[in-house]
Amino acid sequence: MAFAAIHPDAGRIDATLPDLGRGLTWADVYKTRPRVELRCPECGHGVHAKVSARKLRYFAHDPGRPANCTWLNESLEHHLLKLELATAIRAADWYAELEVRAPDGTWRADVLASSHDGTRRIAWEAQLSPITNEDIQERTERYRVEGIGVCWVSPGGKSPWMGDVPSIRVQEPRDGRPWTVIDGPAAFYFEHGTWIAVDDLALTAFIRWVLHGQTFVHQVRHPYRSIWFGASKSWRRRPLVWTTSPHVDTETRHEAMRQRQEERKRQREEQERQAEQQRQAEAEARRIEEERQREAQRQEQQRQWAIEAEQARQRRKAEERQRQEQARAAEEQRLRQEQHEQLLASQWWAELSPAQVQELRDAVAEPLWKSQATRAEFDAQGATADSAYGITIYTRRRLHGILRLSPASLQRLPPVVPVYVRNAREAHQLTDTGNIDPGRVIHFNLPDHEQMSLI
């Protein structure tokens, strides 16, 4: 079905216009006798005027139509939409032609809107069938080259090209509402910083605004290409929207603000980066300084240790000197003591004559011989320091006692063995020192002076 046909006399006629666009009436072509030879503007095949059950006037191909005619398979829905578009264009006081072909066949518009002065043309394409994005871009470009604007109109369903080319989605009349634009136009809200879809716009109003230049296609700036659809509460990508100058200005203003913010953010990040660099440099300087201090401390510690080690060495040396000094002093003391004891011992023994010494030896030996038949052996070395400057006495090769040790050398006395002296006076000389148990001292009451009778 189609709305346009070629009349043999009037030329192109339009079923949607009361005078068919050519000063005729519907009665001039509908069910006439004889029949008017109408032809299809697209394929040239014969067509005839018809009225649908809904009282819609249109042209249908005669039997035997060519299968490849573009208008052939178009649906009633498609035609109704085209009719609606044409009606809205005419209501805006523009010319509307249906099913128009370019003279050279490069384009073919469903509805071509033209301003009265002929300077502006906009094609309105009711695109119901699927079309690839590539094809629709190419057809849009063809219009652009011809200086013709275009708006692709989708009556619902999937239209992947929506927003990639100048386009709108419309909804057919329902619930007492007329044809409504539900996708395509958008308004920019500064406070939200986004485009928001205008999804409730009467198609006739939209077309009037577009034809009058109040609404136009706008290429959305990249940061704003996600557009909010309140009805479906979703974001959709839309590179192109229909809008008005104030909204474009608002987007421009918002973009300027956004770029200022980004610039400030960039500056802030740069400052933070520099501050971080500064912090790192300071931390590095601190680390180096701490390392230097640790090294200085380590060296100081080593120096201290060296000093302490030297001091300890000196101290040990001094202690060694002191020990040697003390040892020498002790040795000197010992020698002095020994010399002293030797002196006193020689004085002690000088008190006795050899006879008196013999007398004492006999006094020890005789009782042993008499009572036990034991011979007393006197150390041939005489008085020695080991015997406290007394004379060691053995019986049966065993230590028996000490004969007349020197009172000044009691500390040298071997333990336990008895000590023999001449008389009580000598015994007292020993015991008076307090350094010997009196029970160990045995005396014989020998006289202190030599007996004249012994001479």
Smallest distance, Zn ion to C-beta of residue 39, A: 8
Give me the helix-helix angle, 203-211 and 76-91, nearest 10°. 50
Question: Is residue 417 within 8 Å of 401, Cβ to Cβ?
Answer: yes
Q: Which region among 39-47, 216-224, 237-245, 250-258 touches Zn ion (by CB under 5 A)?
A: 39-47
Q: Name the DSSP class of 199.
A: -
CA gap 52, 49 in Å, rounded: 10
Binding-site member from 13, 17, 38, 42 for Zn ion (CB under 5 A):
42
Name all contacts of 299-305 with Cβ < 8 Å and 24+ positions apart. Answer: none
For 258, other C-beta atoms within 10 Å of its C-beta total 14
- Nearer Cβ to Zn ion, position 49 or 364? 49
Q: Which two tokens stand for residue 428?
A: 């007292």
Q: Which region among 62-70, 192-200, 328-336, 365-373 touches Zn ion (by CB under 5 A)?
A: 62-70
Smallest distance, Zn ion to C-beta of residue 67, A: 10
Residue nearest to Zn ion (CB): 40
Query: Binding-site residue total for Zn ion (CB under 5 A)?
Result: 5
Q: Which region among 17-25, 44-52, 285-293, 296-304 touches Zn ion (by CB under 5 A)?
A: 44-52
CA gap 309, 36 in Å, rounded: 134
Q: Which region among 33-41, 249-257, 342-350, 444-452 touches Zn ion (by CB under 5 A)?
A: 33-41
- Nearer Cβ to Zn ion, position 42 or 251? 42
Amino acid symbol at 174? R
| DSSP string computed for 28-48 | GTSS-SSPP-EE-TTT--EEE
**Contact string (CB under 5 A) for Zn ion, positions 69-108, x = contact:** x---------------------------------------
- Nearer Cβ to Zn ion, position 15 or 92? 15
Question: Is residue 155 within 8 Å of 126, Cβ to Cβ?
Answer: yes
Smallest distance, Zn ion to C-beta of residue 41, A: 8
By CB under 5 A, residue 4 contacts Zn ion: no
Smallest distance, Zn ion to C-beta of residue 6, A: 10
Per-residue CA distances from 322 to 288, 313, 315, 336 (Å) = 49, 14, 10, 20
Q: Which region among 40-48, 74-82, 118-126, 182-190 touches Zn ion (by CB under 5 A)?
A: 40-48
Smallest distance, Zn ion to C-beta of residue 61, A: 6
Binding-site member from 20, 40, 92, 240 for Zn ion (CB under 5 A):
40
Q: Which region among 65-73, 143-151, 244-252, 328-336 touches Zn ion (by CB under 5 A)?
A: 65-73
Bridge partner residues of 151 (DSSP) = 124
Of 329-348, binders to Zn ion (CB under 5 A) are none
Smallest distance, Zn ion to C-beta of residue 76, A: 17
CA gap 15, 29 in Å, rounded: 10
Per-residue H/E/C for 305-325? HHHHHHHHHHHHHHHHHHHHH
- Nearer Cβ to Zn ion, position 45 or 108? 45
Sign of the alpha-carbon dihedral angle for 59, 65, 70, 76: positive
Sign of the alpha-carbon dihedral angle for 269, 272, 274, 277: negative
Applying CB under 5 A, the residues found at the interface with Zn ion are 40, 42-43, 45, 69
